[in-house]
Chains A and B, each alone.
Chain A
Amino acid sequence: MNWIALKMLTGDQGKYYALICGVTFACLLIAEQSATFCGVMMRTTGLIQDIHGADIWVMNSNVRYLDDLKAISDDAVFRVRGVPGVSWAVNLYRGMGEAQLASGNFQSMILFGVDDASLAGAPIHMVVGKVGDLQIPDSILVDEAGFHYMWPGEPLQAGKVLEMNSHRVVVVGVFRASQTFSTNPIAFTRFSHAILYVPPATRMIPFVLAKSALGLEPADVARRISQQTGLKALSKPDFVWVTMMYYLAHTGVPINFGTTVILGFVIGCAVAGQTFYLFTVENIKQFGTLKAMGLSDRRLVGMILLQSLVVGGIGYGIGVGLATVYGIIARKSFILLSFFLPWQVLAITALAILLISLLSSVFCIRRVLILEPAIVFQGG
C-alpha cells in the first residue's frame, strides 16, 4: 500500500506543497531559534574556547563560572604538575586591565597572561603578527573586534601603543576571538607582564592550565587533580558546560530564548498539524473507499504515518537547509549575530519535527479509524 499512500500524498501537488511548506516553516523556526540560542550561550564561554592547547582548567574550589575570579596559591601549579597523568601545567592570569590610549581615553580590557616560557594558552587565529612576538618585552596581542573598537576606522596593524598601569605596552599582533557578550577588548600578554599591567589588588593566580597525558581522558585526569590538590579541576568541555549552565540558571537569556523555541514548536505544530489534518479531511472519502474495500485499520494507519513521515522528512531537510543558509548570510551581514548550529540542534529539531509529524497524524489516524466505511455510499 506504500506506493498508493505516496501517490495519494503527491497526487495533489497544491496540498502536497502546502504541507511541506508548513513543516519547513516549523522546522526553520525551531532550528533558527535554537541555533541563535546556542550562539548566545556560546558567547558566555567564548573566552574558554579561545584558550588553546590545554584541556584541563584548575581553579579555586569556590569558582562557579569563568568570570568568577578567585585566587589559588602560588604553588598550585607545582602540585598540579605532581599529579600522575598531567603532561604539563602552567599558570594563567585573567583579569581586567585599564589601558590609556594615545588619545587620552581610558579603556577597560580583559587581560590574559600566559606562561612566559611556553606561551601555552595563547590565541592561535592570528590576523596580524604572530604569537611568538609576545616574547618581545612589553608586548600584547589584542583581538580584532577590540582593535576596531579602540581605533575605529584604522587598518589592523602592529605598533599601536598603550599605557597600562603606568607601563608602556605595544600591540604586536591582532587575533580573532570568539564572540562574547562584553564589548571590552581582549588582550594577551605574558604572565609576568600581566601582573604588572593590573592594579595590585588583582594580582593573583586565578587558573592553572593543564594538559592530560596522551591517551588519558581529560575528565579523568581532572578528577584526579581535584582529589590530590583539593582544587577544582574541570576538563575544558566541562568548564564550558558549567559556565553555560551558570548563565542558564542565573540570567534571563535562556528563558527568553527558550520561550521562542517553544513558541516555534507550538506554531510549527499548529501549522503542520492543521495542514496535515486538512489534507486527511479532504481525502476522507478516499480513505473511506479504501476502508470499505477491506483495507485493515493497521494498514490505513501505516499509510497515514508514512505520509506524515515523508512530509516531515522533506520539510526537515528543506527547513534545516534554509536555517543554515540563513545563518551563513546573517553572519556575513551582521557580525554581532549569534548563530551556532551544532548537531545537537539538528537532532533536537529532528525530534521536534518527528513529534509534530506524529502528533498531527494522531488526529488524522483517529479521524480515519472512527470513520464508518458506509460513508462511501453517501453521495457528494
Chain B
Amino acid sequence: MPTDVVKTSGVSCQSVTKEFNRGAARVLALQGLNLQISPGELTLIVGPSGCGKTTLISLIAGTLDATSGEISVLGQDLVHMSKREKTTFRARNVGFVFQQFNLLPALTAAENVAVPLVINGWTKAKALERAAVVLKSVGLADRMHFLPAELSGGQQQRVAIARGIVHDPQLLVCDEPTSAIDAKSGQVVMELIRGLALESNRVTMVVTHDQRVFGFADRIVSMDDGRVSGEQRQTPADANHGTEQR
C-alpha cells in the first residue's frame, strides 16, 4: 500500500508524546511514538502494563489531547481540532469497546445499542429499529429487551460491540475487550470484531494482553515505555474455525 492511502483513510502518528502532570510529578506516557495503521485489518496493540497502550488509543480516538506530535485519523488532523470538532468527530467516526463494557445499566440491550445513533440525531424509534438489526448480527436477537445486569459478561460485551459499530464508524477502538470475560466468550467477541474490521474496511485497533486472542490479528504492534518497540505481521488463524455464536 502506498503511504498516502494510509494517511487519508487510516491512522498516522508521528513523534507523538503525551505527558501527564500529577502535581509536581510528570509522567511521560508516550515519548516520540510513530505508528501507521491501515483500514481493513485487525491491529492488536500489546505491551506491558503502563507502557502507554490506553493512552495511545485515547489519543487516536480523540478523547485525549497529545502533548506534541502529529496525529491524523481518517484523513483528519486531530491535533489542531477544537474540542467541539473532536466531539463531533467521535460521534460520527469512532466506535468504542471497553474492558468493563460501560453499558448504561438503566437501558435495555437495544436501547444501549441505539445510543450512538441518538447522539447522531436519529429519532428514538429509528435508532431502536436499527439497533435491533445490529443486535441480531451479534447473535443477541433474543436478548433485545434485557437489561445489562440480566446478561452474562460475554453477552454484555457483544451488546457493547453492537453499540460500537451501530453507527458504522470508520474507526473502532477496543481496550482489553476480552479480559473481563471468560475464554470462550473472548473467542466469540474477537471473531465478531475481526469480522467487522474486514467487512466494512474500517480501522480496527484492539489493545490486549490476552495471548489467546493474538491469533485473530493481521498485525501485532508491541509497545514498551511509551514507544513502539516492534511489530509483526501474520496471516490470521482466521474466522474459519467455528462461528457458533449463542
Contacts and interface: CB of A to CB of B under 8 A. Distances in A.
Interface string B67-109: 0000000000000000010011111101010111010111100
Contacts of B105: 11-12, 286
Contacts of B106: 7-8, 10-12
A29 to B, nearest CB: 30
A296 B58 contact: no
A374 B107 CA distance: 22
A244 B102 CA distance: 59
Given A3-B124, A290-B119, A295-B119, A376 B88 contact: no
Interface in A115-159: none
A289 B116 CA distance: 11
Given A373-B63, A377-B98, A293 B115 contact: yes
Interface string A278-300: 00000001100111111111010
Nearest to B173: A377
Given A12-B106, A289-B104, A374-B64, A295 B124 contact: no
A335 interface: no
B67 to A, nearest CB: 14
Contacts of A379: 99-100, 176
Contacts of B61: 292
B64 A285 contact: no
B54 interface: yes
Contacts of A102: none
Which residue, of B99, B104, B105, has the highest number of chain A Cβ atoms within 10 A? B104
A374 B63 contact: yes
**What are the 8 closest A-B residue pairs judged by CB atoms, nearest first?**
A11-B106, A294-B91, A294-B90, A373-B63, A374-B64, A374-B63, A374-B58, A289-B102
Given A290-B119, A295-B119, A377 B57 contact: yes
B58 A377 contact: yes
Given A4-B118, A377-B54, A292 B63 contact: yes
A1 interface: yes
Interface of B: 54, 57-58, 61, 63-64, 84, 87-92, 94, 96, 98-100, 102, 104-107, 111, 115-116, 118-120, 124, 175-176
Contacts of A289: 96, 98, 102, 104
Contacts of A297: 87
28 contacts: A1-B118, A1-B119, A4-B104, A4-B111, A4-B115, A8-B107, A12-B105, A285-B102, A286-B105, A289-B102, A289-B104, A292-B63, A292-B96, A293-B90, A293-B91, A293-B94, A293-B115, A293-B116, A294-B87, A294-B88, A294-B90, A295-B87, A295-B91, A296-B87, A299-B119, A372-B63, A377-B175, A379-B100
A380 interface: yes
Contacts of B120: 294
A376 B173 CA distance: 12
B103 to A, nearest CB: 8
Contacts of A7: 104, 106-107, 111
Nearest to B108: A7
Contacts of B176: 379
Interface in A355-380: 372-374, 376-380
A380 B100 contact: yes
B102 A294 contact: no
Given A374-B58, A377-B58, A294 B175 contact: no
B90 A292 contact: yes
A306 to B, nearest CB: 14
Nearest to A1: B118
Which residue, of A292, A295, A372, A376, has the highest number of chain B Cβ atoms within 10 A? A292
B73 to A, nearest CB: 14
A73 to B, nearest CB: 77
Contacts of A377: 54, 57-58, 63, 98-99, 175
Nearest to A9: B106
B98 A376 contact: yes
B45 to A, nearest CB: 12
B104 A286 contact: yes
Contacts of B89: 294
Contacts of B58: 374, 377
Interface in A305-350: none
Contacts of A10: 106
B63 A376 contact: yes
Nearest to A13: B106
A64 to B, nearest CB: 61
A289 B96 CA distance: 9
Interface in A1-37: 1, 3-4, 7-8, 10-12
Contacts of A372: 63-64
Which residue, of A8, A290, A376, has the highest number of chain B Cβ atoms within 10 A? A376
A178 to B, nearest CB: 52
B83 to A, nearest CB: 8
B84 A293 contact: no
Given A286-B104, A289-B102, A294-B89, 4 more contacts: A7-B111, A11-B104, A11-B106, A294-B87
A183 to B, nearest CB: 59
Contacts of A293: 90-91, 94, 96, 115-116, 119
A295 to B, nearest CB: 5
A291 to B, nearest CB: 8
